[in-house]
Structure 1
Amino acid sequence: MSGHGFHVHGPHDHAVEHAGHSNDKFAGNIAVTTAILATVGALFGYQGGATQNEAAMYKNNAAIDKTQAANSWSYYQSKSSKQNLAELAMILPGVDPEKYKAEVARYKTEKEDIKKDAEKWEASSAEWNKKSDAMMHTHHQWALATTAVQIAISLAAITLLTHRKWLLYTSYGVAAAGVVLGICAAAHVDPLAFLGGGAHH
């Protein structure tokens, strides 16, 4: 009498109950797997965002140093123009060439210092660009790893609906690939480079 909280179990009820427990275990395993993958995916996504921000910062530093180099070269050109005028003045009649000779020598010395400064800024800009490109490469690896984990989660969800074990195994395989990509990104190693006999640093 179920109205009083009692229920008599028949053979069919026991079978359904057993099947329910079996399904609950299967669903529980998928739920745990999905939760783990979601956590891993969140960590990968965070790293992807962080590396993208670093790449942007490096690119900004490269632009700043490039501007500094351009300013130095402009200053260099200004000194060259003054040197040329001083050299021209030396050959004019009625002037003291020694006076302008000293100026020419001073401009030459100043130009050398400015040139070194400009080249230093250019080298620094190139280095920042190199770092930015490397960081963007790492960002793309994190993005691929995150995508793989998200696909694995989707496959796990479909498995829950279809109860196809091969889908679950496929989900595990894709998740494993995502984890490998994540490890490679953390280690700054390009997995594809191994096929060509090299690694990205």
Structure 2
Amino acid sequence: MSSHGFHVHGPHDHELEHAAQHGQSDRFAGTIAVTTAILATVGALFAYQGGATQANAALYKNNAAIAKTEAANQWAYYQAKGSKQNLAELGAELVSDERRARFVQSAERYKAEKEPIKAKAEALEQEVKDWNEKSDAQMHQHHRWAQATTALQIAIALAAIALLTKRDWLKWGVFGVAGLGLALGAAAALHL
């Protein structure tokens, strides 16, 4: 509006004022707007869950790598004890009878020391397997969250097209794709 009271209306402004004065509303646009807001909110939650499961998968894979290194260290320790046992047994064969008892005793000690080392290495290998399975499960769940988020993003894009074209069949397409996204989100939440 100018300082002289002269006001120019654009066609859109006129329609908005007319609708406001006469209580008219565009149900189609209102439905699409509310649907889009809901889909964007749910999509943000799905994206957050997808990121969280991906981070968990990486953390679990890291834990598996740490346990794998510890298991390898235990197997190397086990092998070293085995080598010492073999040397002691060889020494027992090569020395005189009066020195043999010392080598036999050392060989038996190394043999006894190997068993708990082997048990610890095997337990660590099981831990590696468990961490890897947890990581794989988290990655599967991450993919489901990502699929759900993608479906909701497609539904939002369809909603924009439906709003611009005012096509009722596109509105139903929005609901269909959104339903698919929600089903995928439910599958992710249920670890399916």
TM-score by length of 1: 0.83
Q: Distance in 2 between matches of 1:4 and 1:60?
A: 71
Q: Distance in 1 between matches of 2:60 and 2:185?
A: 22
Question: Would you say 1:176 and 2:179 are equivalent positions?
Answer: yes
1:26-175 aligned within 5 A = 26-94=28-96, 96-175=99-178
Alignment correspondent of 1:188: 191
Q: Distance in 2 between matches of 1:82 and 1:144?
A: 56
Decide whether aligned partners of structure 1 residues 4 and 66 sit closer, same or farther in structure 2, where only a CA change above 3 A counts: closer
Deviation at 1:4, TM superposition (A): 7.8
Q: Distance in 2 between matches of 1:92 and 1:103?
A: 14
Deviations 1:16-58 (A, max 9, x none): x57x935x33212111110000000000000000000000000
Q: Distance in 1 between matches of 2:5 and 2:124?
A: 87
Stretches of structure 1 lacking an aligned partner (at least 5 in a row): 6-12, 190-201
SS at match of 1:21: coil
Q: Distance in 2 between matches of 1:91 and 1:127?
A: 44
Q: Distance in 2 between matches of 1:39 and 1:48?
A: 14
Q: Distance in 2 between matches of 1:29 and 1:38?
A: 14
Q: Distance in 1 between matches of 2:174 and 2:147?
A: 15
Q: Distance in 2 between matches of 1:145 and 1:168?
A: 19
Q: Distance in 1 between matches of 2:38 and 2:161?
A: 17
Q: Which runs of 4+ in 1 moved over 6 A?
A: none
Stretches of structure 2 lacking an aligned partner (at least 5 in a row): 7-13
Deviation at 1:97, TM superposition (A): 1.2
Percent identity at matched positions?
Answer: 60
Amino acid at match of 1:55: A
Q: Distance in 2 between matches of 1:68 and 1:118?
A: 8
Amino acid at match of 1:31: A
Deviations 1:89-121 (A, max 9, x none): 001133511111111111111111110010000
Q: Distance in 1 between matches of 2:95 and 2:122?
A: 39
SS at match of 1:96: helix
When the two chains are superposed, the root-mean-square deviation of aligned CA atoms in Å is: 2.2
Deviation at 1:147, TM superposition (A): 0.2
Amino acid at match of 1:160: L
Amino acid at match of 2:160: A
Q: Distance in 1 between matches of 2:151 and 2:113?
A: 57
Amino acid at match of 1:52: Q
Amino acid at match of 2:87: L
